[in-house]
Structures are given as structure tokens and as C-alpha cells.
Amino acid sequence: MLLLILPISFLLYYFYPGSKLPKGKAIDRIEVYKSKRRMRVYYGNVLLKTYRIALGKNPVGHKEFEGDCKTPEGIYTIDGKNPNSAFHKNLGVSYPNEKDVEHAMTLGKSAGGDIKIHGLRNGFGYRRKFHRWKNWTAGCIAVTDDEIDELYEAVEIGAVIEIFP
């Protein structure tokens, strides 16, 4: 019986559609809760949707330097959109700020950059929600391809993103 239930459970998880972002809504604020692996999006004070996410391979603590595989913590903005990303599509996060650069310099390292909210690596979209089972990015925030499509349309350039531990 277990041999039948387990595959059916995986198939349901894989194909069961998640909730959709309400059509025509703009996003001007994003909150990321690293320890909960959740990202909430808002317009004003109205919560529009909560996403389950994957983070950097070494998610505990604030990003200190390039290559540490940590997702930054703090207040940043969405500073760009890329429809031709190696990870389906992406939204740029304004990391590093001046404080991040200064801290990395005290360590004798580069702060790095290219922190994004992105979908799955091109050619790996079939993994869909299963990507959430493991933190796998180099410090970015990952969602499914369907989710980055809706975020790409709704997130405003200049939207505030606050990343909490």
C-alpha cells in the first residue's frame, strides 16, 4: 500500500497548482523570512501572496563576501528585471550597499553582487516545487518559474525588499 501512496503523494505535490497572485496587482514591498523559507509580497499594507522559497546553500547569517553562499539580510530595493536570465527570469536586489562593501573590505574580500529573486536554471523548470526541498542558490532567492513569471509582471522597480534572518 505504501508503494502506491508515496508516488501518488509526489505526483499530487508536483502537479497541484498553488495560489496565484491576484491579476492586475502591483507589488511595492517584499519581505523575506529566511528561517521560515517564506517570502511575502505586498501592495501598501495589503498582503497579496506568500511564497515558499529556496535560499543560498549556506543560509544562516548575513552575506559577508562573494562566494559565501549566504543570502543577505537587511533592507534593499528591487533595482532591475532581466527576462533573459540563466534562471528563467530574475529581479535584481540592490545588494551590496555601502555598509556591505565596507564590511567585506575589512575581511579583505569583495562583497560580491548579482543577488536576485529568480526562477529555476534554464532547462531545469521540470523540477518545479521540488527545488524548495534544499537550499541550492549561491545566495539568491529562488521560486518556481511560474512564480517568477507573476512576480516579474507585478513587482515595481524600486520596490523595497526587507530580508530577515
pLDDT value at 33 more than 60? yes
pLDDT value at 162 more than 70? yes
Question: For the chain, how big is the Rg over CA atoms in Å?
Answer: 16
For the residues of 14-56, what is the DSSP string, one character each? HHS----PPTT--EEEEEEEGGGTEEEEEETTEEEEEEE-B-B
Domain extent, residue 153, equals: 25-164
How many independent structural domains does the chain possess?
1
Buried b (16+ CB within 10 A) or exposed e, 105-126: eeeeeebbeebbbbbbbeeeee
Catalytic residue list contains 140 = yes
pLDDT of amino acid 122 = 75
The answer to whether position 20 is within a domain reads no
pLDDT of amino acid 5 = 74
Q: What is the CATH number of the domain that holds 136?
A: 2.40.440.10
Share of the chain above pLDDT 70, in %: 86
Nearest Cα residue to 157 out of 23, 60, 28, 5? 28
Stretch 78-98: mean pLDDT: 95
pLDDT value at 31 more than 80? yes
Buried b (16+ CB within 10 A) or exposed e, 31-54: bbebeebebbbbbeeeebbebebb
Give the global pTM.
Answer: 0.86
What digits encode the pLDDT tens for the residues 5-27?
Answer: 766 665 555 566 678 888 888 99
pLDDT of amino acid 96 = 96
The answer to whether position 2 is within a domain reads no
pLDDT value at 125 more than 80? no
The answer to whether position 7 is within a domain reads no
Confidence band for 157, pLDDT divided at 50, 70 and 90: very high
The answer to whether position 9 is within a domain reads no
The answer to whether position 3 is within a domain reads no
pLDDT of amino acid 111 = 93
